Amino acid sequence: MGTGLDQVSGSARSLVDSWLSAVSESGDAWPGYDLSAIPTVLVSVDVEGSLEAVVAFNHPDPNALGDVIQSADLDGHRVAVVGEPADPEWLVSLAPFDFFADMGGVQTYVLVAERGEPGREPDTPGFVAMVAHEGFHRYQFDHWVPGAGVQDVEGYDFGAENLELLLLENRILVAAYQAGTVPETERLARQFAAVRAIRHARDPRVLHDEEQERMEGSARWIEHHMGDAIGNTYTSTNHTSELGYLDESIGNPAAVLVSVKSFFGFGRFYSSGATVLALLDRLDVSGADIAERLGDGDTPAQLLEERISPLGGVDELVAAARAEHDPDGRLGGAAEVLAEVAAGEGETEFRAAEVPAETLGPGFEAGEDQIACLEDHGLDLSADSVTIPDDIAAACFGDPGS
């Protein structure tokens, strides 16, 4: 690791190695993204939740965290190991991450590694990918135009008609991703755009799908494109993995989902967004243009439709897609099963917040600073209802479960 950090604990070294790897491999995946420019603190805890190590990276005031026992310049980065944190319980409470923790007056990106948690073990490929993925969200909050709204999972359409179209979208995206030529990719991309257009026409909440594809799909794109270099299981060959695995049990698709609502109302968009970005890349849309357009508020699906325009007859394209990708009509039956399961599920981990902004739901009071924090994180508080994801709740209220 270099002179100056040779005597630190193994846990601290793991955090340093993870961060350096994430910085080294993430930048080339997205134009303009520089993880090292974000003041960052990584924390590791043991299997019992006790703090093991705290390391600050390019932070202007690491002493605000506690006693710095060693510091060094590694590859041009300021790295400081904190021996005795001033408030260890607070640091642990930030798990899994906080994008805007106030540390010495500096809005700091904090990520907590937890031993025994798959994907969050320090100095593992999964954790390195997580450092880059969540760091990219901080970059989005700092530099991107806020989106049109926040995904309202509880208010989403989990009816069979919408779910059948989503399953059809999944199959089209998988086929397009596997296509061997540009003309074939374009043909399938038109099918996808047509199905998405039908969904837009029947329910404007599809705009929120596309916002999540913009935010989470791009972050997933980055971590997958780091995969080979960091030894991760998931690479850019796995963008569609979350879309296709339902077909492995199409007769009983609910059997492979922990939560139908969480998957179709939020989790699916990581994979669909990354896949659409892959199609844009294959269709020779400039990565710099994609980065600029997404930063300005456009979505991957909008860019794809623009690339393959004119779209053509939507109804004819959707009918062709059904004939090609669901020739036996089994997606309708699968959608009926999924809709029934979703109707019986309780609320997801996403919590709705009611406007006016001063009262975010029953007994949920927010002050001016907290309202400003929510707006800084891109939430549109003028909407009829707002969902506050756990990471933003943690950043603005301190406890996502409160």
pLDDT at 150: 62
44/42 Cα distance (integer angstroms):
7
Angle of CA points 169, 173, 175, to nearest 5°: 120
Confidence of residue 252 (pLDDT cuts 50, 70, 90): confident
Q: What is the DSSP letter of 145?
A: P
Is cis: bond before 122, omega within 30 of 0? Answer: no
pLDDT at 253: 75
Confidence of residue 400 (pLDDT cuts 50, 70, 90): very low
189/176 Cα distance (integer angstroms):
7
- Please, what is the angle between helix 160-178 and helix 330-344, to 10°? 120
Q: Which residue has the tokens 């329910």?
A: 203
Higher pLDDT, 359 or 182: 182
Query: Which residues are paired to 386 by β-bridges?
Result: 353
pLDDT at 242: 85
Record the pTM. Answer: 0.84
Token pair belonging to 140: 């989005």
Higher pLDDT, 379 or 20: 20
pLDDT at 123: 83
What separation, in Å, do the N-terminal and C-terminal C-alpha atoms of the chain show? Answer: 40
pLDDT at 151: 64
pLDDT at 385: 40
Mean of pLDDT values over 363-392: 53
Say if CB 12 and CB 84 are below 8 A apart.
Answer: no
Q: Domain boundaries in the chain?
A: 10-143, 160-344, 351-397
Name the CA dihedral angle for 263, 264, 269, 275, rounded to a multiple of 10 degrees. 100
pLDDT at 382: 44
Range with lowest mean pLDDT among 42-56, 65-79, 118-132, 335-349:
335-349
Is cis: bond before 310, omega within 30 of 0? Answer: yes
- pLDDT, tens only, 290-346: 999 999 999 999 999 999 998 889 999 999 999 999 999 999 999 999 999 999 998
3-state secondary structure string across 64-76: HCEEEEEEEEECC
Range with lowest mean pLDDT among 197-201, 248-252, 268-272:
248-252
- Taking Cα atoms as reference points, which of 196, 191, 206, 197 lies closest to residue 318? 191
Confidence of residue 361 (pLDDT cuts 50, 70, 90): very low
pLDDT at 387: 54
Query: What are the strands, taking DSSP E only, across 64-124?
Result: 66-74, 77-85, 97-103, 106-114
Token pair belonging to 275: 């896949």
Beta-carbon count within 10 A of 167 CB: 24
Conformation bin of residue 297: beta by default, left when phi > 0, alpha when psi is -120 to 50: left
pLDDT tops 80 at residue 152: no
**With the C-alpha atoms ordered 60, 36, 286, 295, is the resulting torsion angle positive or negative?**
negative
- Longest Cα–Cα distance in the chain: 67
CA-CA distances (angstroms) from residue 121 to 7, 113, 114, 115, 130?
A: 21, 6, 6, 5, 10
Confidence of residue 362 (pLDDT cuts 50, 70, 90): very low
pLDDT tops 90 at residue 182: yes
